[in-house]
Amino acid sequence: MHLVKAFSKINLFLDIVKKRDDGYHDILTIFQSINLYDEIKFTESESLSLQITDKTIPLDSSNTVAKAFNIFSENFEERGGKRQNFDIHIKKNTPSGSGMGGGSADGAATLRFLNYYHNEPFSDREIEEMALKVGSDVVFLLKGGLAKAEGLGEKLEYFNYPEFEKYHIAVIYPNVHISTKWAYENYAKYLTNVQKYYNINSLKKDFSEFIGSLKYSHNVFENLVYYYYPRLREIKERLDEKSPILSMMTGSGSAIFALFEDEESLEGIQKEFGGNNVIFTTPITQRRINDEILTKL
């Protein structure tokens, strides 16, 4: 039996560059992995089975783990390999529909595990190509860490700031599921002429400039989501009162996070936001993810 950790993410910045001819959107974002993960157990079996603690998640071929397994296995069989089935059990810790990439992380972790299990028949580039077929942010979640992402989210430039792990994040998930498809179809109706300027090139300078620049960050989906879900705007405004480095919705919602330099700033948040799913976590580097992702039981 193997235990695999599927680390989730937040977006520290998110903008849409343009709508593509294929109907999808080119984005510009900053992904940051966080020390929150789903636990996936793989046990060798005669047939494939999938169990998830969150009963709202479908178990059919649309599931990201099932999709990742099928894509990998088909490619492996084309190489002359023999498909190995597993009993797969997923303990969900990342809220579904939160914008934290939980499902995508599960798919990414599945691809990494299968390549490891079969003695790495595929290169990193080949696994990334499979990941893009599973979902746009699955490519980043294969390795995680901190990265600027462009295109569909698959064009990545990684950065390494180990000192970021000392910072603290409070995530408030109000148990609201927001459709990503709906958000992309409607965001443009709620754009304002005044967007906070954010220089994404600050990533390339030094850690202090990167942290300082985050106060100018924004998420292009916030105006839309807060209009239809005013409760989320209220959560963000209440987090802002605690003077975080950054508070923002992640992805297309609905989780809202606040980033703090010191742990003391988290005091009282659990009580104040009772009734929501409150998660305390930290940023995590690519190196730590690599060290911790896989355990043989």
Instruction: Specify whether 155 is located in the same domain as 292.
Output: yes
5 pLDDT band (50/70/90 cuts)? very high
Whether residues 87 and 183 fall in one domain: no
- Return the SS3 of 24: coil
Confidence of residue 196 (pLDDT cuts 50, 70, 90): low
Asked if 131 and 18 sit in the same domain, the reply is yes
Report residue 18: phi and psi, to 5°. -170, 160
On the question of pLDDT at 135 being above 70, the answer is yes
Phi and psi at 256, nearest 5°, equal -120, 130
Q: Which of 5, 67, 137, 148 is catalytic?
A: 137
Q: What is the pTM of this model?
A: 0.95
Clarify whether residues 193 and 257 are in a common domain: yes
| Cβ-based neighbours of 196, under 8 Å, separated by 6 or more | 216, 217, 218
Share of the chain above pLDDT 90, in %: 83
User: For this structure, is 137 an active site residue?
Assistant: yes
User: By residue range, what is the domain housing residue 22?
Assistant: 2-160+285-296
**Who's near 72: CB < 8 A, 6+ residues apart?**
110, 111, 114, 115, 130
Q: How many domains does the chain have?
A: 2
pLDDT in tens, 170-195: 999 999 999 889 999 999 888 876 55
Q: What burial class does residue 31 get, using C-beta atoms within 10 Å of its C-beta: 0-12 exposed, 13-18 middle, 19+ buried?
A: buried
Domain with residue 155: its CATH number is: 3.30.230.10
Residue 199 has pLDDT above 80, yes or no: no
Whether residue 76 is found in the same domain as residue 194: no
153 and 29 in one domain?
A: yes
Distance CA 122, CA 101 (A): 24
105 & 195 share domain: no
CA–centroid distance for 102 within its chain: 6
For range 89-109, the mean pLDDT: 96
| Predicted local confidence at residue 95, as pLDDT | 94
Does one domain contain both 45 and 152?
yes
| Structure confidence by residue, pLDDT tens digits, 239-296 | 999 999 999 999 999 999 999 999 999 999 999 999 999 999 999 999 999 999 998 7
- SS3 percent helix, strand, coil of the chain, rounded to 5, is 40, 30, 35
Looking at the fold, whether 167 and 217 belong to one and the same domain comes out as yes
**Confidence at 147, pLDDT banded by 50, 70, 90:** very high
CA 198 → CA 15, 186, 203, 213, 215, distances in Å?
10, 23, 11, 7, 8
203 pLDDT exceeds 60?
Answer: yes
The active-site residue out of 9, 67, 143, 148 is 9
One domain, residues 44 and 134:
yes
pLDDT of 200: 73
pLDDT in tens, 12-35: 999 999 989 988 899 999 999 999
| Residue pointed to by tokens 């009282």 | 268
**Both 212 and 155 in a single domain?**
no
In this structure, the answer to whether residues 250 and 261 fall within a common structural domain is: yes
> What average pLDDT does the structure give for the chain?
94
**Tokens 């703090």 label which residue?**
260
CATH number for the domain spanning 223: value is 3.30.70.890
17, amino acid identity:
V
